[in-house]
Chains A and B, each alone.
Chain A
Amino acid sequence: MIAKLVWKDIRENFINTLIFTGLILAMTIYGLVKNFKDVRSLAVLPILIVAFSFIMVLGYAIYRGFSSLKREKDRNTLEFLLSLPVDGREIVTSKFLAFFTEVLFLSLCITLFSHIPLFYMLITKAIGKAEFISAVKTITYIAFNFFLLALFLFIVFQFYEILVLSLKTKNFFVNAILFFVYLYLLSELIAIFKKVFGFLPDQAPILHTIWGETFTIMGGTNYQGLAAGALAGVVLIVSGIILFNKRVEV
């Protein structure tokens, strides 16, 4: 009953999600109010909102990925979950799906809120329709990539958490070393996957800002990178499930 588990997780984290949304909204309004006279500042605002918000979201993704199971363990509810007629597949994927839902909601909010300054500029005729549309495209595209990155980070850290729970290492330094080894191996794996996807166009999506500047997203991530990341994500989830079923206990 994955749905039940997902819903439970969403309810558990409901307050956090709300707080986040509130913060981002507050940031937006503050930025808008402070800068509504200066067009140049306003133009930067959407990017700033997206950047700051998503940095928070990425941090949240890491926190959730790493702590979702650990929190259950600390509160003895992991014992409850393990006694239920559910397997690791349901537990691991439900945690991911719950986070997916929340981060989707947050991403939509961020995208929406960052459009507010653009709307304002459009209405006050500070920018034209074409510029508006191009800016909207840019913002949405950036937000989408951050959304994917958040998902990826969650998966990466969730697997690490399962690893730690399985190995039952309590020593901080051992876990830290384990973490770096893990990241290294993961990056090697992604490099291999990139080669696998070598048939994809070797180009990064290019964006235009409202000032007519172009830049590549995420330090040059190209289609190969994105596909490799997706595959790595799937591999990590599946491995996480297998590891969970085999070794996680209370």
Chain B
Amino acid sequence: MSEVIKVANLYKKYGTVIALQNVTLGIKKGEIVGICGPNGSGKSTFLRILTGIVKPTRGYVEVLGGFVSKKVKKNIAYVSENDVFYKWMKIEELLVFLKSFYTDMDVERAKELLRKEGLDLDKKVGELSKGNRQRLKVIMAISRSPEVILLDEPFSGIDMLSRERILNLLKEFLIGGERTALISTHFVEGLEEIFSRVIFFKEGSVVLDENCEELREKYGKSVKAMYFDVFGGLS
């Protein structure tokens, strides 16, 4: 199976802060990878480099067989941790806007999902609550058929109900398709069953990269338990 994402010796520095160092790994098609680590460990930076939003200081990055170019971006869906949509746009306008850039955007499906989730097409993005904005971001991503989907903390700062709903949306989307997914998250409950692999970041480096089932067989630990083991010690 070919590698959909390939990075080698990835190094990223912001001013004097080293965000990523020595990251070398490959991700195959269809893998659903959990990216875990404390804040500032480099997870976001890693995903952003794969999206093409951030450029590496040094190192090699290849997504879908090439550099993260305009053509490659058409097959990537990225759900940012930040509120990135234009707040003055109505949801319907946002749909039209996205459709003009992503030909794989299924507007009907998006409208249906939005309806199911109770999001009014006429509302402006800025008028939505945080939970709704998160759901909007996820729906916009899963209304497309990208080959690679990257999610950066899709559950952060939202209520439990929104979280459950997003979880269900994601599960259906990921399990159904043959897509490659990277999900950076602190919450692994309910999610770790769909991870095929998990990568832990600490202070910019990869400290663990394991197949989940092997983790369970070898150590008898869940991803969550492993997380506490690796990062648990309060220092």
Instruction: Kindly identify which residue among B73, B80, B101, B102 contacts A79, using a CB–CB cutoff of 8 Å.
Output: B80
Report yes or no: A82 in contact with B97, Cβ–Cβ below 8 A.
no
Report yes or no: B70 in contact with A76, Cβ–Cβ below 8 A.
no
- B31-55 to A contact mask, C-beta < 8 Å, 1/0: 0000000000000000010011111
Question: A168 CB to closest chain B CB, in angstroms?
Answer: 8
Closest to A81 in B: B84
Instruction: Kindly identify which residue among A8, A79, A87, A247 contacts B70, using a CB–CB cutoff of 8 Å.
Output: A87
Q: Does B74 contact A (CB under 8 A)?
A: yes
Report yes or no: B100 in contact with A1, Cβ–Cβ below 8 A.
yes
- B60-101 to A contact mask, C-beta < 8 Å, 1/0: 000000000011011010101011111110000000010011
Report yes or no: A75 in contact with B78, Cβ–Cβ below 8 A.
no
Q: A36 to B144, alpha carbons, bound, how many Å? A: 63
* Chain A hits for B71, CB < 8 A: 85
* Chain A hits for B78, CB < 8 A: 83
Question: B191 CB to closest chain A CB, in angstroms?
Answer: 23
* Chain A hits for B52, CB < 8 A: 82-83
Q: Does A239 contact B (CB under 8 A)?
A: no
* Chain A hits for B97, CB < 8 A: 4, 8
Interface residues on B, range: 20 to 34
Report yes or no: A85 in contact with B73, Cβ–Cβ below 8 A.
yes
Question: B71 CB to closest chain A CB, in angstroms?
Answer: 7
Known A-B contacts A85-B70, A249-B55; the reply to A8 vs B102 at CB < 8 A is no
Closest to A7 in B: B97
Closest to B56 in A: A249
Report yes or no: B101 in contact with A85, Cβ–Cβ below 8 A.
yes
Report yes or no: B101 in contact with A1, Cβ–Cβ below 8 A.
yes
Q: A79 to B87, alpha carbons, bound, how many Å? A: 14
Report yes or no: A250 in contact with B101, Cβ–Cβ below 8 A.
no
Question: A220 CB to closest chain B CB, in angstroms?
Answer: 44
Report yes or no: B101 in contact with A12, Cβ–Cβ below 8 A.
no
Report yes or no: A8 in contact with B86, Cβ–Cβ below 8 A.
yes
Q: A228 to B143, alpha carbons, bound, how many Å? A: 49
Report yes or no: B53 in contact with A250, Cβ–Cβ below 8 A.
yes
Q: List CB contacts (< 8 Å) of B102-153 with chain A.
A: 102
Known A-B contacts A4-B101, A8-B97; the reply to A79 vs B74 at CB < 8 A is no
* Chain B hits for A84, CB < 8 A: 73, 101
Question: B152 CB to closest chain A CB, in angstroms?
Answer: 10
* Chain A hits for B73, CB < 8 A: 83-85
Report yes or no: B53 in contact with A77, Cβ–Cβ below 8 A.
no
Question: A13 CB to closest chain B CB, in angstroms?
Answer: 11
Chain B residues with CB under 8 Å of chain A are: 15, 48, 51-55, 70-71, 73-74, 76, 78, 80, 82-88, 97, 100-102
Chain A residues with CB under 8 Å of chain B are: 1, 4, 8, 11-12, 75-77, 79-80, 82-87, 168, 247, 249-250
Q: List 29 A-B contacts (CB under 8 A).
A: A1-B100, A1-B101, A4-B100, A8-B97, A11-B88, A76-B82, A76-B83, A77-B84, A77-B85, A79-B82, A80-B80, A80-B85, A82-B51, A82-B52, A82-B53, A83-B51, A83-B53, A83-B73, A85-B70, A85-B71, A85-B74, A85-B101, A86-B101, A87-B70, A168-B15, A247-B55, A249-B55, A250-B53, A250-B54
Top 3 A-B residue pairs of the complex, sorted by shortest distance between their CB atoms: A80-B84, A85-B73, A76-B82
